[in-house]
Chains A and B, each alone.
Chain A
Amino acid sequence: GNSVTQMEGPVTLSEEAFLTINCTYTATGYPSLFWYVQYPGEGLQLLLKATKADDKGSNKGFEATYRKETTSFHLEKGSVQVSDSAVYFCALARNTGGFKTIFGAGTRLFVKA
């Protein structure tokens, strides 16, 4: 079946550090891949997406590349800020009769000043 595995948190970094959150997926066919972010007390916001192999999604300094050969979609940011503290969810979506989104468990990021 389809599934998403992402690195366990929490991840604690100092401001301006480099961020990587690993994500791998299992899916038949060619899913679209997403990163969603959930700030404390808020809902889910789409951070970035990629719809085919080798696509790079980017937004707000974050980026992730759809790697079909390694079934990965790792999230990176060159210099994190305190305001990036949130939970990050990797997700995939395929047409299964309704394009349901399958989420990873989430990785909590704490950024210290």
Chain B
Amino acid sequence: EPEVTQTPSHQVTQMGQEVILRCVPISNHLYFYWYRQILGQKVEFLVSFYNNEISEKSEIFDDQFSVERPDGSNFTLKIRSTKLEDSAMYFCASSEEQGQETQYFGPGTRLLVL
């Protein structure tokens, strides 16, 4: 069964450093998403991406965040200058063409900012 994959599974970084989280969505999917889950809290929407542009973003997704689909398979989330409060589990998700609301989630990347 096709699945969403994410790398790395864990990332430790120093405050102020840039990190790039990588995702490979399911191959025939067209909508891509990032969510985050701070430890013990709810899963929060960050951004959705379709047709090579952001279709929606939350207030969390400020200028420090960016997303990119650099080739036909990868979908990345970049945090330019990490803060302590960016420590969280980051989930990538993808869904099929419009009308298919079911999103399939990757296993997540646990980011720890020191």
**Given known contacts A32-B102, A44-B91, A49-B102, is B55 in contact with A98 (CB within 8 Å)?**
yes
Report the bound CA distance from A49 to B100 in whole Å.
12
Report the bound CA distance from A42 to B89 in whole Å.
10
Closest to A36 in B: B105
Interface residues in B70-114 (C-beta closer than 8 Å to A): 89, 91, 93, 95, 98-108
One of A17-25, A60-68, A71-79, A103-111 at the interface: A103-111
Contact across chains for B105 and A45 when beta carbons are under 8 A apart: yes
Contact across chains for A98 and B106 when beta carbons are under 8 A apart: no
Q: Which residues of B contact A105 (CB under 8 A)?
A: 41-42
Contact across chains for A44 and B105 when beta carbons are under 8 A apart: yes
Q: Which residues of B contact A104 (CB under 8 A)?
A: 42
Q: Which residues of B contact A97 (CB under 8 A)?
A: 48, 55-56
Cβ-based interface call for A94 (8 A): yes
Cβ-based interface call for B65 (8 A): no
Report the bound CA distance from A100 to B95 in whole Å.
10
Contact across chains for A99 and B91 when beta carbons are under 8 A apart: no
> What per-residue 1/0 map shows which CB atoms of B19-48 lie under 8 Å from chain A?
000000000000101010000011111001
Q: Which residues of B contact A70 (CB under 8 A)?
A: none
Contact across chains for B102 and A46 when beta carbons are under 8 A apart: yes
Q: Which residues of B contact A43 (CB under 8 A)?
A: 89, 91, 105-108
